[in-house]
Amino acid sequence: MPNSGRKEREQTRHRQEILTAAENVFVRKGFFNTTMNEIARAAEFGVGTIYQYFSSKEELYATLILERTDEIMDALILSARKAPDPIGKIKTLINEQLKIFDANKGFIRLMAAEIDTPTSPEETRSRLRSEIDSTYQRFLEAIEKIFSEGIKLGVFRNFPPRKMTVALQGIVTGFVSEWYRSGFQEKLSDNSDLILKIFFDSLEIPPGRENK
């Protein structure tokens, strides 16, 4: 029925508006200092409407973190797939990863500050840790496939693809941690060329050399 489809689209739009408003308020005030009434005002809905979509502030927060994390990881994987070759895919992955972090400082701060706060409900923390880890593992598997492809084509050294993936993300994580610790004093994406040089200087096979 046409009206049913329109209602579903409207509900989806309202749900997204609530999540967007919640992210803005959470980023500004933190999870514990935010109330559902404030989120309702920011979304321009009655607080009762918020509870029609999310049973509690904890559920709203967890949904926001998980869906945004999925969105970011999916965007990274998609961007890498568009590159024409394994080296281009890895370079794209690093560049886009750093750009996305730069563009989402508030969300990164929200995750880092709140996800393991001891006073968070244990059920919420356990769910977040488990589902974020699952999403991250899917991301690592996508990178691993790129390295496997590159080894078969003879453009990467014949190292274990999983180890190469861990090494790459270890470098990225180190830069992200320092960037966060410094209070975002620089553009994280300015380090893209350096990260790629550190990584590829030890991994990429120079033209004309045999893959050993």
Domain boundaries, the chain: 1-54, 58-203
What one-letter code names the amino acid at 87? I
Name residues whose C-beta falls within 8 Å of residue 131's C-beta, 6 or more positions apart in sequence.
66
If you classify domain 58-203 with CATH, what class do you get?
mainly alpha
Q: Do domains 1-54 and 58-203 have the same CATH topology?
A: no
pTM, rounded to two decimals: 0.81
Within 82-104, residue ranges assigned H as helices are 86-103
Least Cα distance to 79 among 69, 91, 70 occurs for: 91
CATH 1.10.10.60 fits 1-54, yes or no: yes
pLDDT tens, the chain, 212 aa long: 456 788 889 999 999 999 999 999 999 998 888 999 999 999 999 999 999 999 999 899 989 999 999 999 999 999 999 999 999 999 999 999 999 999 999 888 888 765 555 445 666 677 788 888 899 999 999 999 999 999 999 999 899 999 999 999 999 999 999 999 898 999 999 999 999 998 888 665 556 555 55
